[in-house]
């Protein structure tokens, strides 16, 4: 069964006098538990597609079903609520809140739930354990390396146990060793925890970690290349 | 909602910006509290200075300045017998003839200041029962009695120059301080009283400024009013003493309005400065604010946190301003043309400061916060 189903999905917006269409009538199916990599040159529409799938942006036309729910029909407020419970976003530059500790950063999405303080604490500890950073819970982002910051960001994205994780160049700002560790972590999340991951990347090595690689060019899916981990 | 600690810790991200916000709001709140205390103090002293039981017979046309008023000295005797309703404590009509005179007083060591002098007879103590002799005696010829705050009106550093037994020069004539009196909360407390005859000589006039009648009840004022209207030959106007000071209060209204305008202008300047500071603070966090939205926090929740942050800074400033006001403004005596008044940090003054602090925090944060939350999420997430 597909977790993500895009049908004739289009996105266009005005930029000055011009109408820009980063995505045009795109069809895509992503099965549950798949690790999908999206590649393509700058401006090809891959981040736009990622933002649509994450409910950060809304399509101009078409259908976008996530877990059977058409999120293109949701209002902004409903979309905000949907994001809080259904998707985890991993950013290239981690986007951690600098004034909060690693623990508090990971706890942020749980503040939107009705969980008790004790339950929140247990979930945050488990998430930090999963990314192997339990011993850095009290550290602020400034006291962590780039790789560690990204792992905290991953812990934050999965602490609410969403079925879907989206990652925008998650290794783009890391050295090779840290990047490999992040990719191993993402792979283990699909393999061991059944998460569906959609990752945008420019890096063929990172894309090779995915189950499937899609190439986008000028808003159209041109090619489907199988990854090395079917 | 975002945790309160998020707002609290964000305050300390940029210490110089924090100092700027706290210091700016403290200054504005202090200024507003000072303006409020000045207004309240001046208004209260003028409203407390006039008794509704006292009727003043004043020269027609001089309703706004007792010092310019010319009333025949025989008026007191005529009024005492002709006006019904005048109080008779101890069998004597409560009628006081007075001269109000503004002149300079000089001390032997060269200190000089302008003060308000009142030429009186002992009957003045009957019509002005709020006056209490604290020390010494009522003045005889060549003597004077100083109000407790007279030194402040004269611009002296302390009250020692007007202590009982001290000699002073009044328009060149040497006089001795015979007593010190209190008249709490009234302009009389900053006056200097001498005998009627001494003031008549000094002011070189053969008339008096006014005749004050103490009535049995406030309603008896109508008798004094009727008297002034029947005796056209005396060219008198009757005024309630309380109305006279209420008129003076109106006279000083532009001054009070000016203090509010000044405080308002400074507050507006500070508000724009605060808007700028907070916009810079929030704009540097647009991506972070967008991340919080991406996680699932509503714009309202983030806006609330930003407002909390601004309110925390401005209320800290308000607290500092309130402490400074209590330490340095409360009880401070301020001279003005007809006397002096004491600034008091009353609950109303404190509330005006608190209201200003809240307004600065709220109005200073809302426009920049709304502006920083306005960009589309994908754009905001890409901002540097």
pLDDT digit string, tens, across residues B238-257: 999 988 888 888 888 888 88
Which residues have C-beta within 8 Å of that of residue B84, sequence separation ≥ 6? B220, B223
Closest to A57 measured CA to CA, from A76, A84, A44, A42 = A76
**Whole-Å CA distances, B219 to A56, B80, B215, B238, B241:** 77, 17, 8, 13, 13
- Establish how many alpha carbons lie within 13 A of residue A54's alpha carbon, considering only the half-sphere containing its beta carbon: 29
pLDDT digit string, tens, across residues A141-192: 999 999 999 999 999 999 999 999 999 999 988 899 999 999 999 999 999 9
| Max CA separation in chain A (angstroms) | 54
Which residues have C-beta within 8 Å of that of residue A41, sequence separation ≥ 6? A217
Domain boundaries, chain A: 33-59+75-226
pLDDT confidence of residue A227: 53
Contact between chains at A95 and B287 (C-beta distance less than 8 A): yes
pLDDT digit string, tens, across residues B12-37: 988 999 999 999 999 999 999 999 99
Alpha-carbon span A164 to A85, nearest angstrom: 10
Which residues have C-beta within 8 Å of that of residue B200, sequence separation ≥ 6? B99, B119, B206, B208
Q: Work out the number of other CB atoms within 10 angstroms of the CB of residue B271.
A: 18
Distance in Å from the first CA to the final CA of chain B: 25
* Partner A contacted by B293 (CB < 8 A): yes
pLDDT confidence of residue A142: 96
- DSSP annotation of B71: B
pLDDT confidence of residue A90: 94
Of B9, B291, B293, the CB nearest to A99: B9
Of A51, A83, A108, the CB nearest to B378: A51
pLDDT digit string, tens, across residues A13-66: 888 888 888 898 899 999 999 999 999 988 888 999 999 999 999 999 999 999
- Percent pLDDT > 90 in chain A is 79
Q: Per the structure block, which two tokens stand in for A130?
A: 């999963």
Tell which of B3, B12, B295 to mutate to test the A interface (max A CBs under 10 Å).
Answer: B295
Residues of chain B with pLDDT under 70: none
Closest to B277 measured CA to CA, from B367, B380, B355, B381 = B367
Tell which of A111, A140, A165 to mutate to test the B interface (max B CBs under 10 Å).
Answer: A111
Residues of A with CB under 8 A from a CB of B: 47-48, 51, 54, 56-57, 77, 80-81, 83-85, 89, 91, 95, 97-100, 104, 108-109, 111-112, 156
* Partner A contacted by B91 (CB < 8 A): no
Query: Chain B window 340-379: which residues touch A at a Cβ cutoff of 8 Å?
Result: 376-378
pLDDT confidence of residue A228: 54
* Partner A contacted by B15 (CB < 8 A): no
pLDDT confidence of residue A230: 43
Contact between chains at A97 and B294 (C-beta distance less than 8 A): no
Of A51, A80, A100, the CB nearest to B296: A80
CATH homologous superfamily of A33-59+75-226 equals P-loop containing nucleotide triphosphate hydrolases (3.40.50.300)
Tell which of A12, A50, A78, A97 to mutate to test the B interface (max B CBs under 10 Å).
Answer: A97
Closest to B79 measured CA to CA, from B141, B138, B129, B123 = B123
pLDDT confidence of residue A223: 58
Q: Per the structure block, which two tokens stand in for B58?
A: 């004043």
**Contacts A–B by Cβ distance under 8 A:** 62
């Amino acid at each position: 069964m597909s977790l993500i189903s895009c049908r004739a999905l289009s996105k266009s917006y005005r930029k000055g006098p011009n109408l820009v269409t980063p995505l045009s009538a795109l069809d895509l199916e992503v099965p549950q538990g798949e690790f999908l990599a999206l590649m393509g040159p700058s401006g090809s529409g891959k981040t736009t597609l990622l933002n649509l799938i994450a409910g950060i942006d809304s399509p101009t036309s078409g259908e976008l079903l996530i877990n059977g729910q058409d999120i293109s029909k949701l209002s902004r407020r409903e979309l905000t609520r949907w994001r809080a419970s259904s998707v985890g976003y991993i950013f290239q530059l981690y986007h951690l809140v600098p004034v909060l500790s690693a623990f508090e950063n990971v706890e942020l999405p749980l503040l939107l739930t009705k969980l008790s303080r004790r339950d929140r604490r247990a979930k945050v500890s488990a998430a930090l354990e999963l990314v192997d950073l339990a011993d850095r819970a009290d550290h602020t982002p400034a006291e962590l390396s780039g790789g560690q910051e990204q792992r905290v960001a991953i812990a934050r994205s999965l602490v609410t146990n969403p079925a879907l994780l989206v990652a925008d160049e998650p290794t783009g700002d890391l050295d090779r060793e840290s990047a490999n560790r992040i990719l191993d972590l993402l792979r283990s999340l699909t393999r061991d925890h059944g998460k569906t991951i959609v990752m945008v990347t420019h890096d063929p090595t990172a894309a090779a970690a995915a189950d499937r690689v899609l190439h986008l060019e000028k808003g159209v899916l041109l090619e489907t290349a199988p990854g090395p981990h079917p | 909602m975002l945790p309160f600690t998020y707002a609290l810790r964000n305050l300390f991200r940029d210490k110089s910006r924090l100092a700027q916000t706290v210091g700016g709001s403290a200054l504005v709140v202090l200024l507003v509290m000072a303006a409020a205390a000045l207004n309240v103090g001046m208004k209260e002293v003028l409203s407390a200075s006039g008794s509704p039981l006292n009727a003043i017979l004043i020269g027609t046309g001089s309703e706004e300045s007792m010092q310019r008023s010319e009333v025949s000295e025989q008026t007191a005797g005529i009024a005492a017998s002709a006006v019904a309703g005048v109080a008779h404590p101890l069998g004597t009509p409560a009628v006081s003839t007075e001269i109000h005179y503004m002149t300079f007083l000089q001390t032997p060591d060269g200190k000089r200041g302008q003060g308000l002098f009142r030429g009186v007879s002992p009957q003045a103590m009957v019509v002005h029962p709020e006056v209490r002799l604290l020390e010494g005696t009522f003045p005889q010829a060549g003597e004077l009695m100083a109000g407790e705050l007279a030194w402040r009106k004269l611009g002296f550093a302390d009250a020692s120059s007007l202590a009982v037994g001290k000699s002073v020069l009044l328009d060149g004539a040497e006089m001795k301080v015979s007593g010190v009196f209190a008249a709490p909360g009234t302009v009389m407390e900053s006056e200097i009283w001498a005998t009627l005859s001494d003031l008549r000589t000094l002011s070189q006039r053969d008339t008096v400024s006014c005749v004050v009648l103490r009535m049995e009840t406030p309603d008896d004022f109508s008798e004094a009013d009727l008297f002034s209207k029947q005796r056209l030959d005396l060219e008198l106007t009757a005024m309630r003493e309380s109305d006279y000071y209420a008129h003076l209060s109106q006279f000083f209204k532009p001054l009070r309005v000016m203090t509010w305008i000044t405080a308002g202008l400074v507050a507006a300047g500070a508000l724009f400065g605060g808007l700028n500071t907070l916009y810079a603070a929030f704009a540097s966090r647009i991506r972070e604010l967008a991340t919080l939205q991406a996680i699932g926090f509503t714009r309202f929740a983030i806006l609330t946190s930003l407002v909390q942050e601004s309110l925390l800074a401005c209320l800290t400033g308000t607290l500092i301003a309130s402490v400074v006001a209590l330490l340095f403004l409360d009880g401070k005596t301020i001279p003005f043309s007809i006397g002096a008044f004491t600034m008091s940090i009353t609950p109303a003054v404190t509330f005006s400061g608190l209201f200003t602090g809240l307004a600065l925090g709220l109005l200073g944060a809302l426009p920049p916060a709304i502006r920083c939350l306005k960009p589309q999420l994908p754009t905001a997430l890409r901002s540097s």
